């Protein structure tokens, strides 16, 4: 059974992440929101701290996917309760996104591609790529949410793969040291032939076409990448190179089971920041929030705050469940999508409502409320939109395949 009490080890790691958010991120949050694409040099000072947190079992943005390194404890028994890389990453990313979502996505060596490596890589690849900063390149100009529509190709030429295609909206696409690229090795085999490849930043044929100007998370660089006869070593294909039409591309899709709870955690973090700021504003305005009284007997602002807080709590619990299941080696595809859908929707609702209830303070740049409302929207979009998550949940609940329920 899931235990909602965070163990001492995770509390210590989360406290450290909160200090990073409060002392490094919050003070420069507005600075890098206004200076889009400028590299946040303050994050360089975090390198040693992040390394120390990883060595102690903590992660911030890029989870190890709950995967155990050699020498770690064996898989827990059915009566055990394990909290590993997924839970550690979740509680820490909640704290850093309480500080700033864009800066969290810019933390060196904590890219979403690291979770892809953890989910699919062989032990040898995990050893080789365990210390890289990996972004993830999936989306293309011809598709957004339908990951099976990948058209970027990978052709084996001797001991090298040759990749051709264009990827857009790649988070940390310019700053990362490596890119995890989704490409097809055989277009005639459909989705089963989609594989993920680790492409070094200096690989011949890889270039940055442009950086996107965005609504929010302006501190994070979002790049369009071109792969023009890009050559990488043969063993940079993650996992098995075999095309299994029965299995489909479940291997690469497993990545999302690890990253979607993390994106939910990002949404939970920024939503908590907005709730705390809103409560302070309401309290200063004389609004009394009474949890023992019926909502209809309270002011509209107090009743609305209680609703938002309850919605936040539901999102938080769903994310905890998805991460806990991953660490305890339980299939969590349904729960990962549920947590992502709930948290993404809740964060946009909470942050926008906070702007509304705060009045002129919420709409101005005197506070960070308006920024958080802009930052939160992407968390309802990337790693699968709200609509895609609901579709996945419906398929799992109804026992339908992607062909049967579109």
Mean pLDDT of 28-44: 94
Q: Sign of dihedral through CA atoms 220, 222, 226, 231?
A: positive
pLDDT tops 80 at residue 61: no
| Model confidence band, residue 74 (pLDDT cutoffs 50, 70, 90) | very low
228: helix, strand or coil: strand
Q: Hey, which residues are catalytic here?
A: 383
Mean pLDDT of 37-62: 68
Task: Give CA–CA dist 89/119, Å, rounded.
Answer: 14
Please return the burial class of 190, using the count of CB atoms within 10 Å of its CB with bins 0-12, 13-18 and 19+.
middle
Give the β-pairing of 194-200 and 153-157. Answer: unpaired
Which domains are present in the chain? 8-129 (1.10.540), 134-236 (2.40.110.10), 250-398 (1.20.140.10)
Mean pLDDT of 124-134: 91
Distance (Å) of CA 327 to CA 27, 74, 312, 356 = 34, 12, 23, 39
pLDDT tops 60 at residue 66: no
| Span 324-379, pLDDT tens digits | 999 998 999 999 999 999 999 999 999 999 999 999 999 999 999 999 999 999 99
Looking at residue 6, its pLDDT comes to 85
pLDDT tops 50 at residue 72: no
Looking at residue 49, its pLDDT comes to 64
| Span 309-322, pLDDT tens digits | 999 999 999 999 99
Nearest to 114 by CA among 194, 203, 176, 201: 176
């Amino acid at each position: 059974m899931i235990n909602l009490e965070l163990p001492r080890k995770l509390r210590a790691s989360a406290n450290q992440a909160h200090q990073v958010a409060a002392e490094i991120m919050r003070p420069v949050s507005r600075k890098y929101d206004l200076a889009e694409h400028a590299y946040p040099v303050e994050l360089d000072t975090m390198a040693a701290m992040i390394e120390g947190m990883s060595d102690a079992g903590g992660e911030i943005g890029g989870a190890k996917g709950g995967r155990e390194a050699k020498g770690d404890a064996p898989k827990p028994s059915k009566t055990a309760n394990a909290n590993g890389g997924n839970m550690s990453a979740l509680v820490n990313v909640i704290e850093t996104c309480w500080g700033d979502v864009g800066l969290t996505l810019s933390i060196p060596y904590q890219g979403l591609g690291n979770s892809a490596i953890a989910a699919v890589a062989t032990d040898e690849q995990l050893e080789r790529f365990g210390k890289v900063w990996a972004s993830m390149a999936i989306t293309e100009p011809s598709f957004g949410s339908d990951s099976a529509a990948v058209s970027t190709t990978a052709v084996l030429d001797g001991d090298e793969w040759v990749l051709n295609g264009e990827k857009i909206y790649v988070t940390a696409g310019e700053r990362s040291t490596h890119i995890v690229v989704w490409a097809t090795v055989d277009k005639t085999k459909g989705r089963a032939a989609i594989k993920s490849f680790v492409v070094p930043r200096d690989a011949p044929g890889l270039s940055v076409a442009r950086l996107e100007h965005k609504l929010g998370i302006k501190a994070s660089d979002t790049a369009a990448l071109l792969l023009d006869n890009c050559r990488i070593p043969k063993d940079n294909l993650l996992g098995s190179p075999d095309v299994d039409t029965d299995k489909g591309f479940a291997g690469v899709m497993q990545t999302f089971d690890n990253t979607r709870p993390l994106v939910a955690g990002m949404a939970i973090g920024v939503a908590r920041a907005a709730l705390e700021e809103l409560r302070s504003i309401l309290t200063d305005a004389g609004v009394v929030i009474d949890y023992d009284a019926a909502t209809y007997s309270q002011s509209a602002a107090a009743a609305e705050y209680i609703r938002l807080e309850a919605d936040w709590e539901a999102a938080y619990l769903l994310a905890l469940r998805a991460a806990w299941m991953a660490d305890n080696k339980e299939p969590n595809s349904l729960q990962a999508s549920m947590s992502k859908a709930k948290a993404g929707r809740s964060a946009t609702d909470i942050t926008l409502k906070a702007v509304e209830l705060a009045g002129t303070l919420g709409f101005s740049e005197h506070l960070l409320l308006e920024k958080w409302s802009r930052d939160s929207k992407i968390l309802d979009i990337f790693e699968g939109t709200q609509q895609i998550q609901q579709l996945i949940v419906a398929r799992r609940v109804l026992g339908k395949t992607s062909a049967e329920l579109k």
